[in-house]
Each structure stands twice: as C-alpha cells, then as structure tokens.
Structure 1
Amino acid sequence: MASRFFSSRRTGLALAAGCLLFATLAAANARPEELSVSQIEEQLQNCPLVEALNEHKRATAPETASLTSQIFSVLFPGSPAVNSLLATLYISGPPNFLLALCPPNIDPSSLSVMVAFAVGGLLGDTLFHLLPEIFLGEDSPDHVSFVMVEPNKNLLLGLGIMVGFFTFVAMDKTLRIVTGGEGGHDHSHGHAHTESTTALTTSAETSDKSTGNLKQRKSATGSTGSAPTENEEKEINPSVKLGGYLNLIADFTHNITDGLALSSSFYASPTIGATTTVAVFFHEIPHEVGDFALLIQSGFSKRKAMGAQFVTAVGAFLGTFIGIAVQEFGGNGVMLDDTPAPGIWGTSLTWGDMLLPFTAGTFLYVGTVAVIPELLETGKDKGVEIRKTITQFLAVALGAGIMLAISWD
C-alpha cells in the first residue's frame, strides 16, 4: 500500500504542493525575510506527509555501517576542525616518510602510472563527491532531502569553481614567467615534471661535461699536479638551483590549497571530507616523489631534499587553519543567536560555502591541465606506447573506481 502510494508521480506532485502549503501556513506569522533556507527546510520536515515519507525511507532503506564508514569513523572521530587537522597529518606525514625508501636517482617520468592513478582519484572525487555536494547537498539516511533553488546561488557556486581553476592557472603562469618559460616546471601539484626534469638533467650534464673537460685539460698540462678527488662536488648550473628553490615555493603554495580542500570538505560533510582525504593522499605520493627527484637534480642531498619536503608540508597545515577560520567565522560556525547569517549578494551562501567550489576548481585544474599533457606524451616505439597507454587508462579507471565505490557504499 505504501509503495504504491509513494510511487505515483501525481501523488508526488500533490505531496509537494501539500507540504509547501503546510510550510507556508506554519510560517504565516513570520515575515519571508526572517526565514532562512534551513528554517524553511525544518518547516518542511515537520509536514505530516514528509514525516510519512521519512518513515517509509527508514523502513525500506535502513542505515547500515559499511566497512569504509567504520574505518572513516576511526580515522576521523572528532569535529570538522579536528578531522581536518587529522586529515592534513595523514596526507603530509606518510608520503614524506616514504622518501627515505626512494633512491636519489629516481626519474620522475617513471611515475606516469602512479600519476594516472592519482588523476583518476582526483577527478573521481571531484565528479562523484564534490560537485554533487556543491549543487545538491548530501543525502541523509533518515529523512528525505529538498533542494532549495535560489536566484543566482548556482551562479555564485559556478563562479567559485572558475575562481579556483584560474587561481591555479595564474600560479602556473607566474612560475613559467619567473623561470623564463623553460618548461615552466608545469608544477601545479607537482606531477608534470617531464619537461622540467629533462631541462634540469640536460643543464646538469652540460655542466658536468664542461667541468670534466676542464679537469682533463688541467691534468694533461700538469697545472693541477694531481687527479681530482672523489670528494669534489659537481657544479650545478645556477638556473638549475633556482628551479629547485622555485619548485619548493610552488610546492608550499599548492600544499596550502590541499589544506583548504580538506577543511572545506569536512565542514561540508564527514563523507566528503574522508573521500577527499583519500584522493589527496593518493595524489601526494607521486607528488612528493617527483618533487624529491627534482630537488636531487637541483643539487640537494637526499637528507636536505627530505627536510625541504617536510618544510613545505607546513603549507598544508597553514591552509587547513585558514580554511577552519573561514568556516568558523565566515558564517558556517555556531552562531550565538538564531539569526540567519548574512548571505553573499542576496543569497543564502556564506564565504565558508565558497571554499568547496574553490576546491573543486583546483582539483579540475590539477586533474586535467596540469597532468593530462604528461599522459599524452608519446615516444617512437608504438608497441611500447600502446601498452603504456592501456596501463595508464587502467590506472585512471582504478583511481576513479575507488572513489565511486566509496561513494556508492
């Protein structure tokens, strides 16, 4: 009886009309400008017909604790602020400690499969979690949800996505200008290292060859009187050293955006925060390894390169604290009274609500513009490239599939 009643489209329209009438009558004593979106939703939840829908939903789809939700509840047991800091610790610590296991001569271009996996995770998190959450909100297991359509709200959310995207465009462009346009380090989150690494390697080899030829000439003419010692350090081209330090600055800045992403996600919902942490974690491993290799080629010792990476991890915590501050003081925190927070340009959005669209825009840039060019690079051996391409696509599908499975579960 209940299923037949709730499956009728005409009945659904009558339900909606009846609930809206109920909410209107319940709020008859309040002026429209005094009602916030959350208050309107609360009035709708008190509608008898919606209460019947809620009972039907709980009866037909009881809440179950999946394995992933149990794991997430252990990893993130606190408030949004605490969970954001825990997530930042998770994505900053282990990837940096893994650098101790990396050989100093690792080639960043060999990380293409791992990069492809990270791209699938980032795009999957953006398309399966962030964008639906931004425009529709998150479903609740115990009651039906309503999407309140406001004039210009979706436009502002789209604007936030565009601002995040072009913020990374500006950062990448600035870095290319500073480095003279030679490869540009293509370092929006540290994946596209191929061109910059080639340039650095070429410069270093040229410097080594010229130094070696000079030593040979000195040895042949007897001007040095002895063979070069093993402790003599290789000369590193100044532009290569500059590239290493600029890489650290870019890494620090991009880690700030990671912190912003984590804080905005946890304030949106625990599920979105947890899945974003997983995506950023998968993304950080090739990021850190690629940066580590670039620093080694810039003249850093292994210990100094690891130390520099730990210093840049401070940027992630800085971004997290900024995000928490925006959420708490930008209208999403607990208010001292029940008055609705003032919205942006006449909408119900607060500045804290704009962090999640900004995050989605940055993830779109990282997953497409910053990385896809590296995956499109091909060599002359067609057989090798075909196998490499298939492997990369499988890695992308695996990364996206993990995000889809977590969301579905």
Structure 2
Amino acid sequence: MTLVAILLATLAAGIGSVWVADLLLRAGLGRGNAQQGMLSLAAGALLATAFMHLLPEAFESEAGAKDLFLTLLVGVVFFFLLTKAELWHHGHEHHHAPLAQGEDHAHHDHAHHGHAHPSAHGHARSHRSGGGWSLLTGDSVHCFGDGILIASAFLADMRLGVIAAVSVLAHEVPHHMGDLVVMRLNSNRNAAVLKVSLAGAVTAFGGLVGYFLVGQLEAWLPFFLTIASSSFVYVALSDLIPQLQKQLSARETLAQVVWLAVGIVLVTVVSHLAHGGH
C-alpha cells in the first residue's frame, strides 16, 4: 500500500506539475511580448530554485562544504561540455552550419522584436539545444531527489508523505514554467511538454529507489541536489540571461527586472511554504 501511494504521489508531483505549468503558459504567459517576461521569470525561478532551495538543503546536510562546492564546479563544467558536445554534433550533421549560425543571429534579432518567422529558426533551435539538454539532465537529477524525499516522508508517515508530495508539486510549477520556456526555444509546445514530463517522471523512479534503498542513498542526496543546482545556474546564466542583455527602453528594462524578481520571489515563497509543510 505504501509503495503504491509513493508511486501515485511521485507521478502526480513530477508530471502533474509540468501539466499545470503548461496550462498556465497556455493561458497567455508565453505569447508575444510576454516571452521576454517569461524568459526573465524563468531565469529568476531557476536561480532561486538553485540558491534558495536546493543548495541550502544540500548544505544543511552532513556533507562537507568543500565537497559540495567541488560538485557544483564539476557540474557547471559538465553542463558546459554537454552543450559544446551537442553543438559539435549538430555542426557535423549539417554541412551548411555557417548559414545556420547566421540564421541564429537573425532569429535573435527578430525574436526580440516579437515577430520571429517560424520557418527561420529551425537551426537556431538546434544551436541552443545544449541548454535544453543540460536543463533536462538537471531536472532529472532534481526529480530523482524529489522522489527520494517523498518516499522518505511516506515511510515516516502517510500524511507527511502527502504533504511532501503536494509541496513538491507546488514548488515545481514555477520552475517547470521556466523549463518549458527554455525547451520551446528548441522544440514545439507538445515536444517540450513531453520532454519535461519525461524528466518529471523520474520522480517516480526516485520514489521507487527511495522505497527500497532510502537508508543507503540518504548520504548521496546532497550531491544530487548540488548537481541539479549546477544545471539550473548554468542554464540561467548561459542560455536565458544572455538573451535578455539587449539594449532596451527604460520601460522594457524595468519589465525584465520586475519579471526576474517575480520569478525569484515566487520560488522563494513556495519553497518557504514547502519547508513549513515539512
């Protein structure tokens, strides 16, 4: 009975949060001029998730600070190499890579004016796919850790397990909105939802592993959280924020800053409530 409850709760938290995030985006938060706002919100949400939720939780453990910082550094370098490998792979698949790169710059110029042509950014999407893969990898690690946390809570008390699952779902929604915005730079809407949902499904795998091996894996959880943090920091700083560093009017710049702050505040508040629930 406990195992069934863990699987249902982890699936609801892992995949349900992605679907809720997609519904919110379909409500209009990702259209037209709002795209820049969503990129800002995504950057804020990812950075806040890393610095206000995952890393503090990792450092509250018995793991050494030097070991965790080393893990963070190795994670950032790993995701940089993952991005380079993806770009190198794409460059060798297409003989007209220089033209594609030109299209990428053209897409950037058009996208920031809100009228990118759908047929012009196929290559541009591929050139940014490294960030998407880094995000999915980090999401999978994060979701695996969430699954272990939910399983641990259920093994302690059924009600605590339900609270933990609801807290994880609520916490994941704002940063999955950011994930979907990033993935839609590389895929269409349905493909983006599918990819992020598959990463979210890893929560159930984490719950299953946690049910059987929670005692043995508990010592590794801080490192899982730190690796996930490194992916979110890397994606925010390398993939999102560079797209926001354009010369804009004072009003547009203020809007970016406000959305960035909204992303940070949203995740910080939800994270605080989630910890209160535990």
Give the TM interval when normalised to the shorter protein. 0.5 to 0.7
Q: Which residue of 2 aligns with 1:230?
A: none
Give the match for residue 262 of structure 1.
143
**C-alpha contact (below 8 Å) 2:14/2:197 kept by paired residues:** no
Q: What is aligned with 1:55?
A: none
Is it true that 1:356 corresponds to 2:225 in the alignment? yes
| Partner residue in 2 for 1:118 | 42
- Is contact 1:114-1:286 (8 Å) kept? yes
Q: Distance in 2 between matches of 1:183 and 1:88?
A: 39
Residues 328 and 245 (structure 1 numbering): CA distance in 2 closer, same or farther, change over 3 Å?
farther
State which of 177, 185, 190 in structure 2 corresponds to 1:285. 177
The structure with the larger Rg is: 1
Instruction: Map Cα deviations across residues 194-243 of structure 1 (whole Å, 9 max, x no partner).
Output: 84734898xxxxxx9xxxxxxxxxxxxxxxxxxxxxxxxx9x68xx6566
Match among 127, 147, 152 for residue 51 of structure 2: 127
Q: CA RMSD in A?
A: 4.4
Pick the aligned partner of 1:167 from 57, 78, 81.
Answer: 78
Which is richer in helix? 2
Q: 1:260 to 1:392 in 2, by over 3 A?
A: same
Task: Give the 3-state SS of the residue equivalent to 1:258 in structure 2.
Answer: helix
Alpha-carbon distance change, 168 to 248 in structure 1, aligned in 2, over 3 angstroms: closer
Q: Which residue of 1 aligns with 2:247?
A: 378
1:184/1:196 contact within 8 Å kept: no
Where 1:378 maps in the other structure, the secondary structure is: coil
Are residues 285 and 165 of structure 1, via their aligned partners in 2, closer, same or farther at CA, if it must alter by over 3 Å? same
Matched, 1:156 2:67: yes
Are the structure 2 counterparts of residues 308 and 130 from structure 1 closer, same or farther at C-alpha, using a change threshold of 3 Å?
closer
Partner Cα separation in structure 2 for residue 359 and residue 184 of structure 1: 31
Number of the residue aligned with 1:316: 199
C-alpha separation in 2, matches of 1:277 and 1:320: 11
Letter of the 1:166 partner, please give it: V
Distance 1:253-1:182 versus aligned 2 partners, 3 A rule: farther
Task: Note the residue ranges of structure 1 that are not aligned, 5 or more in a row.
Answer: 1-77, 138-147, 186-193, 202-207, 209-233, 296-304, 334-340, 344-348
C-alpha deviation, 1:280, in angstroms: 4.2
Residue equivalent to 2:255: 391
Over 3 Å counting, the alpha-carbon distance change for 1:98 and 1:273 in structure 2 is closer
Distance of 2:167 and 2:239 partners within structure 1: 21
2:42 touches 2:181 (CA, 8 Å); kept in 1? no
SS at match of 1:332: helix
Taking the aligned partners of 1:127 and 1:289, their CA distance within structure 2 comes to 20
Counting aligned pairs with the same residue, the percent is 18
Indicate if the aligned counterparts of 2:136 and 2:199 stay in contact, CA closer than 8 A: yes
1:90 aligns with 2:16: yes
In structure 2, relative to structure 1, the CA distance for the partners of 1:281 and 1:262 (3 Å cut) is: same
Residue 357 of structure 1 aligns with an amino acid whose one-letter code is: T
- Contact 1:113/1:392 (<8 A) preserved: yes
Contact 2:14 2:200 in 1 (8 A): yes
Alpha-carbon distance, 1:261 to partner: 0.9
Cα distance in 1, alignment partners of residues 21 and 203 from structure 2: 18
What amino acid does structure 2 have at the position aligned with 1:399? G
Q: 1:373 to 1:361 in 2, by over 3 A?
A: same
Q: Distance in 2 between matches of 1:403 and 1:101?
A: 20
TM-score under structure 1 length normalisation: 0.47
Report the alpha carbon displacement of residue 121 of structure 1 after superposing the two structures with TM: 2.1
Q: 1:325 to 1:357 in 2, by over 3 A?
A: farther
Q: Cα distance, 1:308 vs. partner?
A: 3.0
Report the Cα distance in structure 1 between the residues aligned to 2:199 and 2:136, rounded to whole angstroms.
4
Using structure 2 for the length normalisation, give the TM-score.
0.65
Given candidates 204, 208, 214, the residue that maps to 1:332 is 214
Q: Which runs of 5+ in 2 are unaligned?
A: 92-96, 112-116, 154-162
